[in-house]
Structure 1
């Protein structure tokens, strides 16, 4: 080998090594700094709280875990959610939401859809297939397939819930003592459809049962609460809502502009969900819609799921989460309040999914009745899914 060729080879190796390290560890490095749990001592959970928590059907409406890690079966050192921690937290139902596009520099006030896309970096670091580098539907399907793969690999640990019949089977298995978790697939932002109504049917066929119409920016369906126009549903957005109604898919109004919320309530024949939020009357932040609009969602039979992070509830401690739940119950009624953690959604929390008994303890200390705790921790989610999932006996993953 000539000296010149040798120097070229050495230079190539020296260049390739840091790139390999970036691709190997870059994603976990970013996640560790994005999805944090505040350092804290283990909570003191009473025997009564442990007994009660073990008897609950616990459900959470929102976790973005699939964008970070394909392997949910191993307990991770980063983030908030995996199968071992869900089991430790006695979680029966977890909505896994997929993220297809996120502005690199974003806030909760006004974002431009054309700003650099942070999810492209995610695709590169995780070496996603080329088709998922730019096509948002493919990014969504890729993340959904991660959940399906886990369910196929470990059916004793995870069952994908697509229908009322699947839900019935899950609850029967858990009542018989199985520690199986029911995973549902949702979409965060209707831009994942890429403006194609046929993409909605593709997602449904793959097992997706909930779609949030917006995320951080305005899209082809309508305005975001954090977008530039704050506009209502577009003609395409109305077509999507009507098709979702026909498919018995759940409409998620988290991140939707006030005008979009009003339009959905006017045309949809089904109750919506707000999968992760706070209450403006309890935490006056631009992340939250006004209480009067929440009341309209509740009047339509909707469910409002309380988040675990400060930009939604101001005080993200367990006591703050409990206080936000109390506010929601007192203001909107016990039948309409649920959990919507936003775990692994670029959030800093005070607990992870293994520590949900901390909330049961906190609610007992705050004077919640056992019935209130059962409903908020998952009973309302179970009832809503029983009433609003497709009734058909679809194959369970």
Structure 2
């Protein structure tokens, strides 16, 4: 018995050490930054950036890694202090609940080993989260709510138009007030149960992508095996999302799902983080036809910052992608969708966003166009479409 107790104690101590060391190591390896802060741009670009009233980003996976977002981190791309340093008003914090081993842009199986399960365990999360995707999702939702509560009024969880208006009004007198929204990356998190749409809505989720890197019960992924459109279950989920006021995020969806959603949705859609095929011809990126249909729907498209979405060198290709959407369908349909902390290497962290302003200035964007891309489009889209 004594040996058993000693063995259990040793295992417990090893687990505690793993919790302290492994998640930071994994995140540092997966969420790298090519150019480290501080960042320098021209005086003109910095002045324009500093005067921006509303800066917003449509996609960040920071909740996955177990960091305290109220503290400034020495790894990753986003936390609350860095949002304030960058004058960012609103971040869409997206929840990743499952990801396949060997994840790639071409073809992934839903049956491949899930790499989020061991991460969930080694982060020290509740055993109730270890093998339940919806529990992981609700847990990350609760984490953001807890972080925001710790801010004692200096952060707002945006779930409604009223919340957004509160954020806008608060920032008129205090730019340190920031906002966060919740999204889900891949509706496999619903575990095939339509009732879970309501559960995540009650937890604050206001955006869901039908698929992520693999096919699920809603239909096919852009990187899956079937290429199929919405299943009957998928159509019921889309309808329920419309009824509740949850935005549909078409990032990572198969072309067939994109068409099916646009054929049936009663609400404008979001593509939270993507590239465009005119700049990088990849199956994860939007074709001109898709961009046009999304614009006709009144939707908004967030341009991602990493090489697999925009190609290399990233910075001029980010600007080229923004410019392509503007020229094809109008400036009002394009926004920032970084994919910060999404297991990607990005050129700069959130404090480097003035580099985007510099790039747009160099390409002849007007001041109004710069304001639109940096956040006014997101603000206007949400004011129009949030319930």
TM over 0.5: yes
Is 2:258 the counterpart of 1:261? yes
Match of 1:346 among 343, 347, 350: 343
Distance of 1:192 and 1:90 partners within structure 2: 32
Q: Secondary structure at the match of 1:288?
A: coil
Distance of 1:53 and 1:141 partners within structure 2: 35
Is 2:68 the counterpart of 1:38? no
Is 2:43 the counterpart of 1:47? yes
Is 2:159 the counterpart of 1:162? yes
Would the alpha carbon gap of residues 373 and 199 (structure 1) be closer, same or farther in structure 2, given more than 3 Å must change?
same
Structure 1 residue runs of 5 or longer lacking an equivalent are: 391-397
Give the equivalent residue in structure 2 for 1:136: 133
Distance of 1:263 and 1:158 partners within structure 2: 37
Distance of 1:293 and 1:178 partners within structure 2: 36
Q: Deviations over 1:90-118 (max 9, x none)?
A: 11010000011100111111111011011
Give the equivalent residue in structure 2 for 1:395: none
Match of 1:88 among 66, 85, 88: 85
C-alpha deviation, 1:23, in angstroms: 2.2
8 Å CA contact 1:164–1:386 kept in 2: the answer is: yes
RMSD, aligned α-carbons: 1.8
Distance of 2:85 and 2:315 partners within structure 1: 17
Match of 1:232 among 229, 233, 252: 229
Give the equivalent residue in structure 1 for 2:275: 278
8 Å CA contact 1:158–1:183 kept in 2: the answer is: yes
Equivalent residues, number: 386
Taking the TM superposition and a 5 Å limit, the aligned residue runs for 1:208-223 are 208-223=205-220
Is 2:27 the counterpart of 1:23? no
Distance of 1:58 and 1:380 partners within structure 2: 10
Would the alpha carbon gap of residues 5 and 184 (structure 1) be closer, same or farther in structure 2, given more than 3 Å must change?
closer
Distance of 2:189 and 2:15 partners within structure 1: 29
C-alpha deviation, 1:5, in angstroms: 6.4
8 Å CA contact 1:316–1:349 kept in 2: the answer is: no
User: If the length of structure 2 is used for normalisation, what is the TM-score?
Assistant: 0.95
Taking the TM superposition and a 5 Å limit, the aligned residue runs for 1:297-376 are 297-376=294-373
Distance of 1:245 and 1:12 partners within structure 2: 50
Distance of 2:90 and 2:155 partners within structure 1: 10
C-alpha deviation, 1:177, in angstroms: 2.5
8 Å CA contact 2:221–2:227 kept in 1: the answer is: yes
Q: Which has the larger radius of gyration?
A: 1
Distance of 1:62 and 1:316 partners within structure 2: 21
8 Å CA contact 1:305–1:339 kept in 2: the answer is: yes
C-alpha deviation, 1:43, in angstroms: 3.5
Give the equivalent residue in structure 1 for 2:245: 248
Give the equivalent residue in structure 2 for 1:389: 386
Q: Deviations over 1:347-371 (max 9, x none)?
A: 1001101111121122112211100
C-alpha deviation, 1:17, in angstroms: 5.0
Q: Secondary structure at the match of 1:328?
A: helix
Q: Deviations over 1:286-324 (max 9, x none)?
A: 221322122111111111110000000002533332222
C-alpha deviation, 1:151, in angstroms: 1.1
8 Å CA contact 1:309–1:341 kept in 2: the answer is: yes
C-alpha deviation, 1:9, in angstroms: 7.8
Would the alpha carbon gap of residues 249 and 16 (structure 1) be closer, same or farther in structure 2, given more than 3 Å must change?
closer
Distance of 1:73 and 1:12 partners within structure 2: 34
C-alpha deviation, 1:381, in angstroms: 0.3
Q: Which moved more, 1:166-175 or 1:36-45?
A: 36-45
Would the alpha carbon gap of residues 210 and 41 (structure 1) be closer, same or farther in structure 2, given more than 3 Å must change?
closer
C-alpha deviation, 1:19, in angstroms: 4.1
Would the alpha carbon gap of residues 10 and 134 (structure 1) be closer, same or farther in structure 2, given more than 3 Å must change?
closer
Would the alpha carbon gap of residues 122 and 317 (structure 1) be closer, same or farther in structure 2, given more than 3 Å must change?
same
Would the alpha carbon gap of residues 16 and 134 (structure 1) be closer, same or farther in structure 2, given more than 3 Å must change?
closer
Q: Deviations over 1:334-356 (max 9, x none)?
A: 01000000000011001101111
Distance of 1:25 and 1:244 partners within structure 2: 39
Distance of 1:149 and 1:77 partners within structure 2: 21
C-alpha deviation, 1:46, in angstroms: 2.5
Would the alpha carbon gap of residues 14 and 242 (structure 1) be closer, same or farther in structure 2, given more than 3 Å must change?
closer
Would the alpha carbon gap of residues 12 and 87 (structure 1) be closer, same or farther in structure 2, given more than 3 Å must change?
same
Q: Secondary structure at the match of 2:78?
A: coil
